[in-house]
Amino acid sequence: MMLMRLLHSIATVLIVTPSYVMAVSSTLYYSSTKARSNPQTQFLQEILMGRCYVQPPVLNDPPQACPSLIPSLIGTLNSHLDSQITPESFQSYIEAVDFTTPTDGAFFLLGAGVGKSVSDAVFVPPGLTRPEDTLGGSIMTGVVFCGIDSQTDCSFGTFDEDLKQWEGAHASFWSGAYASFASSAKGRVQMTIVLGTDGSYDEDSVDLFSSSAIPNFDDSMITRLDIYVVSSEIGGEASCDADIVMELAMSMEQMGIQYTCTEDSDWSHLFFCASSLASEKSCRQIRAMDVTDGKYLLDETKTSTESEGTTTTTTTSEIFHDANPPS
């Protein structure tokens, strides 16, 4: 029985990171308040060890690194109160693994929670990579973890305004991951922020981006930051003039990094496409994607009819659109 539970748990949360995924709801997940608490993922060490052997988080020391990396993560969780865990607690892991992404490939999604896997109703555009999708980050995506005192009721963590650092295992791990990812970002960096109709947003992801990613960007390596503002609801409106967007833009300016902001673009429709919404005219369904050509296929066709004498020929062609965000 224990073996069956273990296999079921691993099968449930073990992920393989694809280059893209569709959102599965008409409303993107975001929260205007802190993330809810949950118990720590069962069989966490076994899951992380399995992921490590399948896709090692380091480039030059593959599976040999797993027997030391994973126990160090679990040891941190099992030997500290959650409030005692800070980004420094994971420093040995952060420094040992790979959080890099190709030039022009860095992408931040502020609005789907932090540490979510691509199977958790988030969309990662083709050719782009979140911190969660890197070799170092994918080990910990989609699982819940915290210090020894909170493992039946894990929370995201809190930011200590005086010490200017995160406290709590989940926030601290991803703070280190976002910082490492940002420090190695090159070329064009893209970011999507999801806003509620009342201007609300996912505080966890925005706070983490502000405190951990922005200060670690290298203005000599980044050409610009492109911000895409989308509404959390189909047909909703989101503005580049929203207070939180202006705050993020100002922070980038202070870092000496140029930015652009785009709202209500066709690109944003990708975040609301799912097979269950095929009947909704406001949501254009993605049925297939050709990553090589950078095209995505919408659920729409063009039909032409030609008549010649008594013979009528009807031709239906599928319509492809550019799968890359505006340049």
pLDDT in tens, 140-160: 999 999 999 999 999 999 999
For residues 3-23, give the mean pLDDT.
34
At 18-33, the pLDDT tens digits run 333 333 233 343 343 4
- Tokens 């090692």: give the residue: 56
Residue 114's nearest CA partner among 240, 234, 208 is 208
Residue 57's nearest CA partner among 116, 21, 18, 17 is 17
Mean pLDDT, rounded, of the chain: 76
- Cα dihedral across residues 266, 271, 276, 282: positive or negative: negative
For residues 92-110, give the mean pLDDT.
93
Predicted confidence (pLDDT) at residue 311 exceeds the cutoff of 90? no
User: What CA–CA distance (Å, rounded) separates 70 from 204?
Assistant: 25
For residues 262-271, give the mean pLDDT.
62
User: What CA–CA distance (Å, rounded) separates 113 from 51?
Assistant: 21
For residues 183-195, give the mean pLDDT.
93
| Confidence at residue 238, expressed as pLDDT on a 0 to 100 scale | 84
End-to-end CA distance of the chain: 54
What are the start-end ranges of the H helices in 42-200? Answer: 44-54, 66-78, 91-96, 135-138, 169-184
For residues 293-305, give the mean pLDDT.
46
Q: Which residue has the higher pLDDT, 157 or 1?
A: 157
User: What CA–CA distance (Å, rounded) separates 267 from 262?
Assistant: 10
* Range of lowest pLDDT (104-108, 204-208, 259-263, 318-322): 318-322
Assess contact for 276 and 24: CB atoms under 8 A: yes
| Confidence at residue 263, expressed as pLDDT on a 0 to 100 scale | 84
Residue 50's nearest CA partner among 33, 29, 67 is 67
Q: What is the DSSP letter of 27?
A: B
User: What CA–CA distance (Å, rounded) separates 114 from 110?
Assistant: 8
| Confidence at residue 287, expressed as pLDDT on a 0 to 100 scale | 38
* Range of lowest pLDDT (142-146, 227-231, 321-325): 321-325
- Measured in whole angstroms, the distance separating CA 289 from the mean position of its chain's CA atoms is 19
User: What CA–CA distance (Å, rounded) separates 249 from 255?
Assistant: 10
Q: What is the pTM of this model?
A: 0.76
